[in-house]
Structure 1
Amino acid sequence: MRYLSLLLATPLCAGDLTVKPEPFRIQHSFDAAVLPAEAPGLTLRPESWKTYTIESIADHGSSVKKGDVLIAFEREAYDRKLIDQTRAIAAAELALATQELNFAKLKEEVALQLAAAQQAKQVADENLDYFVKIGRPAAEQGLVQDLKESEFRLAAAKEELKQLKQMYDADDLTEETEEIILERQQFSVASAEFSLARVKRAIDSKRTFGLPREHEQLKKAAAEAAIALAKAEKNLPRSVQTAELELEGAREGLKRQKLELERLKKDGALLTWNAPADGLFVHGSLEDGRWQLGDLAKVLKVGASVPLERSIAALVPAGAAPSLTAWVSPAVARTLAPEAAVSLTIPGHESIQLSGKIGTISAQPSIESMHSVTLTTEWPADLPALWTSPIKCSVVAYEKADALQVPTNALQLGADGAWTVEVKLADGKTERRTVTRGRVSNKSTEILSGLEPGQVVVTPGE
């Protein structure tokens, strides 16, 4: 009371504010969009076909009946693709059948080739073994025998010639027949001598070149057969494995082609969008409490290609219940509470006052740093909902009948983190007082503690 009595005796200066209990209110005004609670939209999410060019489209805001064509897309290129894909699959099936037959025959051929390589290796090994153990010794023996036979024939021919000469020399006269016989025998001896010399040369050649070369050829054949078998044992199964992998690849490729065809056929249903019910057809998208058209206005026309993975149009069913959605700043969102009363005003129908309540408030802001807020109300039955049109909303977020409050710019934050105001004393001097802030509304701040009614706060000039 000492401060109060002193202040009463001290004149106030311009900019001073005497603190007293006054009504304090935080009120927000924002727009909400009138949207249908449900509105089936068209979002093209094709699995295969990616080109959707508008052939016809109903006007924005037009009333339609169930089954009416809302958007039709050109399908000539799609039909050609469908035919090409069907033909490609038929050709791939024929090629796969041939490949499967070739694979079956390849396994048979590989088995035969491997058996032939094994047999060739066995024959080469047997030939070499036989030559070493039997063939070469027998050939050596044959050479010795040939030499003996040639020597024996020469010796026999010489002995016979000798006997003939002794027999004919006993006669005083040599008859003409005897001379012929002697000449013949002499030729036989010469022929036997020549034959012996030829046999000796043949034996020497056989021993020096023939048998060693034959041995080397047999060893080479055996080595080559072993190499061929080793390669066959490795490469022939690999050829089967490679062919099998190629066959599996062809099967998988055909499977993918068929899957692609099924996807393509499924995408054909997107080429025409019929109205699922009676209602109002709108261009753009009704998403997250907003009607969005933007750049879609440029492509929602005949001859234009529409974007994929994005809602491009919607149907508002006849009799759809209206839903109100607003977008507010984080500062406003933090002051709102579910079930809080809201006053609604329809532009052009200001005489109709609607009341509603706050429904839900999104916990996280959107990428535009705004929170979505839904509102509930009883829409007048005789008033058509003007879809996507704004409606004015007013809500009292906080109210107190006897709050102490000061201009927000009179508060100062100290280095210790405490808020202070400058209070005028009776002697005209001032001092800073620590206060506890409450809520903030426009340019006023509620003071919860630190000030008493009747105290004068120094406020900065405008």
Structure 2
Amino acid sequence: MTRFVRILSLCAMAGSLLLSSLATADGPAKKPQPKEEAKSGEGSQEPESKQPAKAKKSRKAENEKQPAAEPKVEPAKPEPEKPKTEAPKVEPKAAPAEQKPNTAKVAKQPFKIDVSMKGVFEPTNRTEIALRPKQWKELTVVKAVEHGRQVRKGDVLVELDLEKIDDQIADLKKDLLLSELSFKQAEANLKILEASTPLDLQLAARNKKNADEDLERFLKIDKPLLVKSADFMLKMSQSNLEYEKEELRQLEKMYKADDLTEETEEIILKRQRDAVERAEFFLENAKVNHEEALKIELPREEDSRRYLTEQQALLTQRTQATSPVQLEQQRIQLEKMKVERGRSEDRLKELEADREQMTVKAPADGIVYYGQYVRGQWTGATATADDLRPGGNLTREKAFMTIVQDRPMVVRADVPEASLHYVTPGLKATVEPAGYPEIKLSGTVDVVDAVPLGGQFAAVVKLALPHEAKVLVPGMSCTVKTTPYLKKSALVAAVAAVFAEKLDPDSRYVYLVRQGKAPQKQPVTVGKQAGDKIEILEGLDNGDEILLEEPKQKD
């Protein structure tokens, strides 16, 4: 409210100055006007808004050549309320006014779809360097060529420590010589065993037969004969004693009849008495021998012969059972030695081949890249640089270096999945190197992945590399631009103006605007879409006007 009063006061002051200027210009008849204004300003506490009204009436009276005292009439007291009524009068006029709906024209014009892809220059001829030793595992670096070095075929790329592998090769050669001697000895033993085994079997069978026959003969012949001999010897000793005693008795009887005993007779009797004594001893010895033969020697002999027979039977069985097995074992052992010798020979060959690999040479002319090229990316370069320092260790079966021939090259580009159906083999492309945007290369899509790898589809673009592209090397990035769809004259509408049926999203329609008529729903057939433009195949004509948004439904 204070700001409003202040504004009115300023307007009144401006009006007073204007009236003073007019009065001065018209002569003395208008001099009383400032006094009235001054009096009004000094003695009256009326609102300052009345001053502009008086100024207007004064200006009107002057124009009509009326007396200057007429402005004293104050019919315009309600005028200070005008600022309150003037502001709302503008707004009601804008509110009910209807805005013209946003429309767009359907026009015939060139229509195309562009696909842009990020890519990288890729060499078509590259050779990965990896050590694939079959036996040796310790790959310690002595010296390696630098990354980015241009090399020729046969140049040494990496030298590895060979001392330990050389020692192992020398030891293995000595082991092979000893193995060869052992194999020859085993081979000779096998031949002997093959010849002796049948003889051993025959000998075992013959010994068993002899033992059986000896036992049978002992039991049937020898034992009874020995018993009979022992009995006979005892009986003979008894008879001999009796004979000797009888002869002594007869001699004594004969010599006793003679009264005189001659010296010869004494000698004869003495001899006979000695004979009797010997016969008694022999008899006693015969009894002991007889008892020993029957109770000790013959039973022991029988047991011994039975044991030997059984033992021979077992030996024969064992020989028959084990000899063929031992022969087969010897054959298997010889075969095993043969296999082991072959393995040792193979191991020696593999170690010697591994040693050859440990002096790594360039397989072709090219540039040395550390790491491995995988789908447009050089991987492992930093880690490989650490491995290739002196004293570093390389990993078997892992590519640590790649020899790259920088010509020819292709581009491997990542295809957005949404554009995959546009990018097909044979599609023409323009390649712009990131580092040299002024170079424009022509290319053709050669291959497109059918299956993503790591969520990415890849396309290979063949290139024509002019002379000015010699600065490009594998690994540089680029942009691949293609236009898979182009019509020089197509009927094109704004995408925002084409709507889809809720129950049938494949059915499209627009709202056609006709002068003096309400917008009309019009079915259309659409084609390709590029950004905010869409191709109209049927349903509209060139120059038709359509709504950019669906009209609001009236309640």
TM-score normalised by structure 1 residue count: 0.80
Residue 382 of structure 1 deviates from its aligned partner by 3.0
Distance 2:420 2:384 in 1: 30
Amino acid at match of 1:374: V
Residue 224 of structure 1 deviates from its aligned partner by 0.7
Say whether residues 1:125 and 2:209 are aligned partners: no
Say whether residues 1:63 and 2:143 are aligned partners: no
* Runs of at least 5 residues in structure 1 that lack an aligned partner in the other structure: 1-9
Residue 285 of structure 1, aligned match among 348, 360, 372: 372
Say whether residues 1:312 and 2:383 are aligned partners: no
Query: Which residue in 1 is equivalent to 2:451?
Result: 364
Q: Which is higher, the Rg of structure 1 or of structure 2?
A: 2
Distance 1:163 1:151 in 2: 18
Residue 32 of structure 1 deviates from its aligned partner by 1.9
Query: Which residue in 1 is equivalent to 2:164?
Result: 77
Residue 454 of structure 1 deviates from its aligned partner by 5.9
Distance 2:502 2:394 in 1: 55
Residue 201 of structure 1 deviates from its aligned partner by 3.8
Amino acid at match of 1:312: F
Secondary structure of the equivalent of 2:172? helix
Distance 1:451 1:137 in 2: 140
Distance 1:132 1:94 in 2: 55
Amino acid at match of 2:238: E
Cα root mean square deviation, aligned: 3.9
Residue 136 of structure 1 deviates from its aligned partner by 1.4
Query: Which residue in 2 is equivalent to 1:373?
Result: 459
Residue 311 of structure 2, aligned match among 224, 229, 236: 224
Distance 2:233 2:388 in 1: 109
Amino acid at match of 2:320: E
Q: Deviations over 1:342-379 (max 9, x none)?
A: 1221224333333322111122222x122221112321
Query: Which residue in 2 is equivalent to 1:7?
Result: none
TM alignment of 1:344-363, pairs within 5 A = 344-363=431-450
Larger relative helix fraction: 2
Distance 1:137 1:195 in 2: 23
Distance 1:231 1:358 in 2: 82
Distance 2:217 2:525 in 1: 118
Paired positions, count: 444
Query: Which residue in 2 is equivalent to 1:300?
Result: 388
Distance 2:496 2:219 in 1: 123
Secondary structure of the equivalent of 1:369? coil
Q: Deviations over 1:30-79 (max 9, x none)?
A: 12221222123312222222333332222222233444323333323332
Residue 216 of structure 1 deviates from its aligned partner by 1.4
Distance 1:457 1:146 in 2: 152
Residue 215 of structure 1, aligned match among 302, 305, 309: 302
Distance 2:367 2:317 in 1: 80
With 237-246 and 115-124 compared, the bigger mean Cα shift is at: 115-124
Query: Which residue in 1 is equivalent to 2:355?
Result: 268
Secondary structure of the equivalent of 1:382? helix
Residue 256 of structure 1 deviates from its aligned partner by 0.8
Closer, same or farther in 2 for the Cα pair 1:89/1:333, shift >3 Å?
A: farther
Amino acid at match of 1:301: R
Query: Which residue in 2 is equivalent to 1:100?
Result: 187
Amino acid at match of 1:200: K
Residue 402 of structure 1, aligned match among 469, 486, 491: 491
Residue 383 of structure 1 deviates from its aligned partner by 2.3
Is the CA contact (8 Å cut-off) linking 1:283 and 1:300 kept in structure 2? no
Is the CA contact (8 Å cut-off) linking 1:408 and 1:445 kept in structure 2? no
Distance 2:124 2:179 in 1: 50
TM-score normalised by structure 2 residue count: 0.68
Query: Which residue in 2 is equivalent to 1:389?
Result: 476
Closer, same or farther in 2 for the Cα pair 1:64/1:151, shift >3 Å?
A: closer
Distance 1:268 1:151 in 2: 100
Distance 2:277 2:353 in 1: 105
Residue 292 of structure 1 deviates from its aligned partner by 3.1
Amino acid at match of 2:451: Q
Closer, same or farther in 2 for the Cα pair 1:82/1:174, shift >3 Å?
A: closer
Residue 124 of structure 1 deviates from its aligned partner by 2.3
Q: Deviations over 1:162-215 (max 9, x none)?
A: 322332343344445545544543443354344334323432332233222211
Larger relative strand fraction: 1
With 105-114 and 53-62 compared, the bigger mean Cα shift is at: 105-114
Residue 440 of structure 1 deviates from its aligned partner by 6.0
If asked which structure has higher relative contact order (CA below 8 Å, sep 6+), I would say 1
Secondary structure of the equivalent of 2:126? coil
Q: Deviations over 1:285-329 (max 9, x none)?
A: 2344443344334323333222332332233337x2222222334
Secondary structure of the equivalent of 2:150? strand
* Runs of at least 5 residues in structure 2 that lack an aligned partner in the other structure: 1-97, 551-555
Residue 321 of structure 2, aligned match among 234, 256, 260: 234
Identity %: 28
